[in-house]
Chain A
Amino acid sequence: MQKVLVMVFWLVGLGAFFLVGSPYMDKLFPDWARFNEIQEVHGVDNAHLYYTDLPIIQDAEAASRAAVREGMQARREAAAAKRQKAASGNDDAM
């Protein structure tokens, strides 16, 4: 009986922490409260285990891939322009 009571005590304690204690902590640490709000807005939370659990991941991946494509295209164009400039500079010298 005592062991059951100890178990119930721990469960009630944990429940009390989350339902009573944590709203109090939110008031005490505004950054934490703000952090919790942001999690709700974006649908992400600290409990997600793997990237496939994140609702935002497919959009994040698509945006990153688009940025890489555009960025590398700009890099290639800049490199081509530089080569052309160097080649025309050599022609002028000759």
Chain B
Amino acid sequence: MSQANSDVVIDRGKSSWSDLWTKEDYWAIWIGVFILAVTLGCIWSNKSGLETKYNEYAAIIKAEKEKPIKTIEFFEATAKQKGLKGSSLDTVKSFIDTMKTPARWSDNPMDSLILSKAAADKANEAVKPKVDAAAAAEKDALAAARVAQDAAAAASYADAALNAEAEKAIGEWQKAKKATADAKKKIKKPFNRIPGLIILGLVLGGLVTLGAAVMGYNPLKFFLGFLGVYVLCVLANIFGNQLTGRKYGLNAEVWSIILGLLIANTIRTPKWLEYSAQTEYYIKTGLVLLGAEVLFHKIMAIGIPGIFVAWVVTPIVLVVTYLYGQHVLKIPSKTLNITVSADMSVCGTSAAIATAAACRAKKEELTLSIGLSMVFTAIMMIAMPAMIKALGLPGVLGGAWIGGTVDSTGAVAAAGAFLGNTAMQVAATVKMIQNVLIGVTAFFVALYWTTKVDVAEGEKVGLMEIWHRFPKFVIGFLGVSVFFSLLASNLGSFGAVIVDNGVLGVSKAGRGWFFALAFTSIGLTTDFRALAKYFKGGKPLFLYVAGQSFNIALTLLMAWIMFYKVFPEITAKI
């Protein structure tokens, strides 16, 4: 996210057809779309098989729903339908397995790369008897449920007492089934991530080097430099999967910055490594892949209350905070202002990345925004549940409040879980709706910057000029988002098989790696002292605190009005 200078940029560049293969924005789109198209192609070629099974289960579910009780067959068909995933197809599974990051670990970092069969068996010694016991209990519960259901069926489901007995027995079976599933999660399977990581490095290296070569870089130099950046990324992913660190929000992206900064500010980044530390290239590619996850039909998940909390309050807070930063705090850098405002009001790191790229913010500004967000997330994820409990607020209101205010998506779910399942459900859903807003945010920020900020005073920018200046990767990002949103919503509930549990398995993994590459590159090319300059006077901190205070107040008010005054019927059913 480099800028030629911090002054207003008057870009009189013209677009031409050759941009399609010489400009980084377009290569980000080609690489992102290529990965998504190959994945979708693999899944789509098996669509009819998946759809046939899906419809079979749907028919069973429909038939069983006619009965007065939810039968064993209903639950079995529902579970099988839920288990149908595009990501389970062999080719797609092999993509996802290759793209897997190092595993979670606690004491020994090597546990993240290799777990031998002997070590897995040893770790499972204590767990396996519990799994076997849970499986046996489930089998007994199923047998009892079958007997009770048969008795109810023999009376044609007309006997209320028999129906109640059957429902109770089936409920016990479902609990036993969940207990088995929970116990099985603790079973460790042997793995070896090293071959996958090597293949992934070569494939990603090949893809980005192809683009770099066409754009004028030396392909061999770039590829070798890329491998160096990739190795650091793998290290960052190892650290980012340390169990304790993850709980404090220290994921691979954060470790990527830390490692890069450490190298750049101690032994100095070698020139051969710096050659391939192409932050913008990687971040734009990651954003195009993220576009597949920005599914617009998700915004209706919790109805109109969710839209008001996430899509009405958020833009108001974003704009008001930005204006406060401009006119009251007089923050010198507009790009820093909008990046911090978006980070705080929308959804943390992912919003900061999208906004920073859209307005061409400096990489130090992105780093600072993420740092601020992390610090306040750590405070809010503990303080907000405590405050909600102290005030005696109901779970739905507390969850909506957390979802609309805590930055990090993971922290939102964790803070909601602290209050209970209802709060976690509402918090996660509200945050999901807010997450979807980043596509629109990136578009309008890019448009605003192109037409109002990066212009000379008094200059009017025509449509063609807007096109010339507009960051093209945003079009790719939104285009992918619109495509998959339309695809998923047109397929109805079957869309989850193709998109949510299909293509997204690969897009998530891909964007994770590209963001980690981008953040490593940021770290490798950042002077630590340059970061301190942006914090001078503490204005970004005041901006964050003021904006977040406003966000907290407005979100609570809106959540209360929508969930308790306007739509209490929805709240009653949650």
Q: Name the A residues within 8 Å of B47 (CB-CB).
A: none
Taking a contact as CB atoms under 8 Å apart, the answer to whether A78 and B350 are in contact is: no
Alpha-carbon separation in the docked complex, A3 to B569 (Å): 64
Query: Which residues of chain A have C-beta atoms less than 8 A from B290's C-beta?
Result: 50
Total count of chain B residues near the partner, CB < 8 A = 68
Q: Judge whether A90 is part of the interface by a CB distance below 8 angstroms.
A: no
Give a binary string over B482-523; 1 marks a CB under 8 Å from any A CB, 0 the rest.
000000000000001000110010001000100100000000
A87 at the B interface (CB under 8 A): no
A-B pairs with beta carbons under 8 Å apart, 17 shown = A7-B263, A36-B244, A39-B417, A41-B417, A44-B424, A46-B381, A46-B410, A46-B411, A50-B409, A57-B429, A58-B496, A60-B426, A64-B303, A64-B306, A67-B302, A75-B567, A75-B570
Provide the A24-58 mask, 1 if CB < 8 A to any CB of B, else 0.
00000001101110110111111111111110111
Say whether, besides A31-B382, A38-B417, A58-B500, A45 and B246 are in contact (CB < 8 Å). yes
A35 touches B413 (CB 8 A): no
How far, in angstroms, from A53 to B249 measured CA to CA in the complex?
14
Known contacts A35-B418, A47-B249; is-contact A60 B573 (Cβ 8 Å): no
Query: Quick check: A71 and B247 within 8 Å, CB to CB?
Result: no
**Interface set of B (CB-CB < 8 Å, partner A):** 107, 185, 240, 242, 244-253, 258, 262-263, 266-268, 290, 293, 298, 300-303, 306, 347-350, 377-378, 381-382, 386, 408-411, 413-415, 417-418, 424-426, 428-429, 431-432, 435, 496, 500-501, 504, 508, 512, 515, 567, 569-574
Residues of A within 8 A of B301 (CB): 61, 64-65, 68
Give the number of residues in A that approach B within 8 Å (Cβ atoms).
Answer: 50
Is A57's CB under 8 angstroms from B303's CB?
A: no
Whole-angstrom distance between the Cβ of B179 and the nearest chain A Cβ: 14
Counted as pairs of residues, one from A and one from B, with CB atoms less than 8 Å apart, the total is 181
> Apart from A39-B247, A64-B301, A71-B572, what are 4 other A-B pairs with CB-CB below 8 Å?
A7-B266, A53-B409, A58-B501, A75-B570
Measured CA separation A16–B440 after assembly (Å)? 42
Give the CA-CA distance A1 to B63 in the complex, in Å.
74
Contact of A53 among B410, B424, B501, B569 (CB under 8 A): B410
Compute how far the CA of A20 lies from the CA of B431 in the bound complex, rounded to whole angstroms.
Answer: 33
In the complex, A18→B106 CA distance in Å?
10
Contact check: which of A3, A41, A52 meets B504 at CB < 8 Å? A52
